[in-house]
Every structure is written in structure tokens, then in C-alpha cells.
Amino acid sequence: MFKMFRKRLISWYLENNRPLPWSKTHDPYSIWLREVILQQTRVEQGASYYQKFLNHYPTIVDLANSSLEEVFKDWEGLGYYSRAKNLHKTAQIVRDDYNGIFPRVYEEILSLKGIGEYTAAAISSFAYNEPYSVLDGNVFRVLSRYFGIDYPIDTTIGKKYFKKLAQECLDISQPAQYNQAIIDFGAVICKPAQPLCNNCPFSSECKALNENRILELPVKSKKIIKKNRYFNYLVLSHQGKIYIQQRIEKDIWQFLFQFPNVEFNDQLLSKEELMKELSFSVSYIRESKIFLQTLTHRKIHAKFFEIECLDCIPPNDWILVSKEELNNYGFPKIIKDYLTEK
């Protein structure tokens, strides 16, 4: 059964593989960079960032020698900035502990900051052709549908079961090609909402299709509940410049920059309500439309109040920059959206 599955899968891949910018690379640094970028990013968007990072940081040592602020700026728009922070930290570890050469041993790769089992397996198989199966959303979906598996993929027992199954399906004679084949198949044919079952080489054996359960699989036990947060940003101008500050708390967008923010638990403020909160005099105040950004566990509602302050005494962590200098700082997407519309 497994032999037929892997043979047909690789046959499909050889006829349909996607011409992506990383398709032929065996460089572990490039593969690691790709995997980190694609963790929470669509391939279409991730490809341009992948090329940008390789152009800006041709080697892992170049990445390690850069500043975190510089990496954040290049990462801008990808979200989940902890990925960028871990990327920078791991580059420094490889530079300092491995003489700038990416480790080859699976356990050493797995020990690096921000690298889990999936990424370690991807680097091991794609760079070194080691027999480690990858297990991402695409693979969970293909295996659960083909074999008709009801174990929830977000539980310990489910993850353990799928990990064993994925390894059993792996073609150990060509693990890199097999892993890329099943990832591409999940992305191109066995898609989440509108799979192309009529074009599927497994349609006669697929249990989910034959039992009319395509959209039921894979199973997840936990439903994500998004919390609403309300940010009232103060775009404070003073003598032609604007105040910004860095988010240093352990919260979303840590170490990115923002305009000073007044956050309320349940609402965005009106211009009149904000005036009551200010402790300084202003010559004018203008409010923007409402901007929205959806994160995995949060939905951000934001409004921007453009204010000319007359006598404000800024806290020590506020930075006064020119409008042109704003381009040198990394901001969350919701702030970039506001700046783009101005």
C-alpha cells in the first residue's frame, strides 16, 4: 500500500512540479530561510521575501552580522515577528558555534532556536537527503484524506499517529523528492476548501472522497477564539517631526515600532473622548477611518489620531523622527496600511 502511494505520488510530482525559486537548491541556509518564511505565509508572497533576504543576506554570516532592527525592517509585512527574531538568533548561533556552517546532524538542527521537527526534517531531507519525513498542514491533509484518519491533528495522540504514518510512507531512497512531492500535492491538488478531486491520481483509493468526507478531514479538536483589541494610535507631530516608540513588552509585535498607543478593552475612541484623555494642549486633531488586521488569536481594530502637540513632554522611550525616517523602522502591517494610504 505504501509503495504504491509513494510511487504514484512521485510520478505525479515529476509531471507537475512547480517552478519555484528554491526548487533546485540543496543549500541548507537557503532551505532554512525558505521554511521559516513559509511557516505562516503563502508561497506566492513568501517567494519575493525569500529572494529579498538572499539578496540582502547572501550567507548566514551576513544575516548574523546584521542588526535585529534591519531584519525586522526586511521582514515587514510577513507578520509573526518572532520568526524573524529567531531567524536572527539562530544565524548568530551558527556563526559563533558552528563557524558559520549550518549543522548537518538532525538533532543539532532541531536544537537551534525556532526550529521544530518539521523544519529540521525539511532541512535534513532537502539539503542532505536524509530519511526524515516532513509533516506540515499539506501533509496532514493528504494523509488524513487518503487514509480516512479521524485522529485530531492538534492533539498529542494525533500528532504521534501522523508522524509514524508519514515516516512509513516516506520513500527513503529519495526522501527530498518524496517530501517535496507530498507538499506540492497538498498545495496544488488536495487543497483545503476546493480540492481538485477530478484531477487526483488517488481518487479511486481516497477514503475521504469515497465516503464523502473531504471537507471533514483533517479533524481539529480546538476552535480558535479571536480576541478583539482596540488601538488608538496618536500620530503626534512636533515641529515637523513625529513621535514613535518601540513595543518591548512580551506581546504581539514585540520589538516593532508604533505610534504612541492608547488601548481600551472594548472600544475605539472618538475625537472628543480622546481629548479628555490627553494631558497636553493641541492645535488640531484629526481622526482616521478604522483599520483592521486579523491575527491567529487576535483581531486588531485601530484608529489613528493625527495631532499637533504644543506642550507635550514625551516619555523617555519616545523617539522623534522625520516623516522620511519612518521608512527606516519596522512597523506592524496595520500601521503600514495607514501610512500607505496617507
Active site residues: 35
The 10 Å Cβ neighbour count of residue 139 is 24
59: alpha, beta or left? (left if phi > 0; alpha if psi -120 to 50): beta
Cβ proximity of 300 and 293 under 8 Å: yes
Cell numbers standing for residue 83: 520568526
AA letter at 340: T
Is beta strand 298-309 parallel, antiparallel or unpaired with respect to 282-294? antiparallel
Cβ proximity of 236 and 248 under 8 Å: no
Cβ proximity of 73 and 327 under 8 Å: no
For the chain, how are helix, strand and coil distributed in percent, rounded to 5? 45, 15, 40
Whether the CA torsion 308, 310, 315, 316 is positive or negative: it is positive
Spatial neighbors of 61 by CB under 8 A, at least 6 apart, are: 91, 95, 100
Cell numbers standing for residue 96: 559563533
